[in-house]
Amino acid sequence: MRPPTPTLFICGAPRAGTTTLYRALRQHPDVCMSQRKETGVFLENYDKGLDWLIDNYLTHYDGESVTGEATTGHMQHPPSARRMAETVPEARLVFILRDPVERIYSHYRFHRQSGRLGPQDDFSTLIRDESSEWRQIQVDNGRYHKHLTRFETHFDRSQIKVLLLEDLKTNTTAIARELYDFAGVDPSFTPDLSRNHNEGGMPRHEGLYRAVQACWEPIRERLGIGMLDATQTLRDWVRTQLTDPSECSTMSPMDRQYLRDLYQSPNRQLEEWLGAELSHWT
């Protein structure tokens, strides 16, 4: 049975809870999400088309009423909104947002953990270096208003669902039901979202951690989501052995104030657009 064209897309923001939303949708009996998260179907794989996505990552389809995909990079990438509108004009788009100050620090820790940044890459220096590509990309990731209004130029507001990570953490069941209702499936289903995703500290030994990552990445790319789920407990244990949770310290007050000032205007714009109060953000 060939799957229908995917119409449900989790588009971002990165490091804001998209994996939790993806797994909530995967658990619903009426939703078939792509076997791989971050397919980049409207990014680097855009030329391959939706048939490529269907033929490679929706082969487990079993008659579900909704099919979908999740790529956080779609939010920031300017052409993605237009590409999605031209390809799937009826699409429903999901965004989840996190305090942009906390988000950028989380992304820094993630890139340290993954080896994309090393111990010489100091957070305080990176966020102030306006010539740094890392800084440009990561600061821009948190300018949510700019990205959401770009999507609004291509889609009706009713096709855009915006959630907040804080709400997901404090009222998981209610947010899951809100997500299901937006997707057009039974909102009474309760997923198991007890596991925290993508957590961890800094590498205990940089060289060893990077070597393990280098071996794992090509394997991960070949595994379906079922095998990734089956090995999750083992992979979590390995991560705890190779990282130090105590290194997940908070950012310095000076760095926090610098970023707070940087995001003050974008956050106010977002508040007005959402019709929501965000003073709890940093």
Inform me whether the pLDDT recorded for 228 exceeds 70.
no
Residue 37 inside a domain? The answer is: yes
Averaged over 21-44, what is the pLDDT?
Answer: 96
Total tally of structural domains belonging to the chain = 1
Residue 242 inside a domain? The answer is: no
Mean residue pLDDT of the chain comes to: 88
Which pLDDT score, from 0 to 100, does residue 51 have? Answer: 96
Residue 149 inside a domain? The answer is: yes
Give me the CATH number covering residue 170. 3.40.50.300
Residue 252 inside a domain? The answer is: no
Domain residues for the domain of 149 are 8-100+143-197+266-274
**99: Cβ contacts below 8 Å, ≥ 6 apart:** 165, 166, 280, 281, 282
Which pLDDT score, from 0 to 100, does residue 282 have? Answer: 74
Averaged over 182-205, what is the pLDDT?
Answer: 78
165, 96 Cβ separation under 8 angstroms? yes
Which candidate, 279, 280, 259, 276, places its Cα nearest to that of 123? 259
Averaged over 203-212, what is the pLDDT?
Answer: 59
Residue 280 inside a domain? The answer is: no
Residue 23 inside a domain? The answer is: yes
Inform me whether the pLDDT recorded for 235 exceeds 70.
no
Which pLDDT score, from 0 to 100, does residue 218 have? Answer: 67
Residue 33 inside a domain? The answer is: yes
Which pLDDT score, from 0 to 100, does residue 144 have? Answer: 98
Residue 81 inside a domain? The answer is: yes
Q: What is the pTM of this model?
A: 0.86
Averaged over 65-90, what is the pLDDT?
Answer: 97
Q: Classify residue 49 as left (phi > 0), alpha (psi -120 to 50) or beta.
A: left
Q: pLDDT digit string (tens) for 131-174?
A: 999 999 999 999 999 999 999 999 999 999 999 999 999 999 99
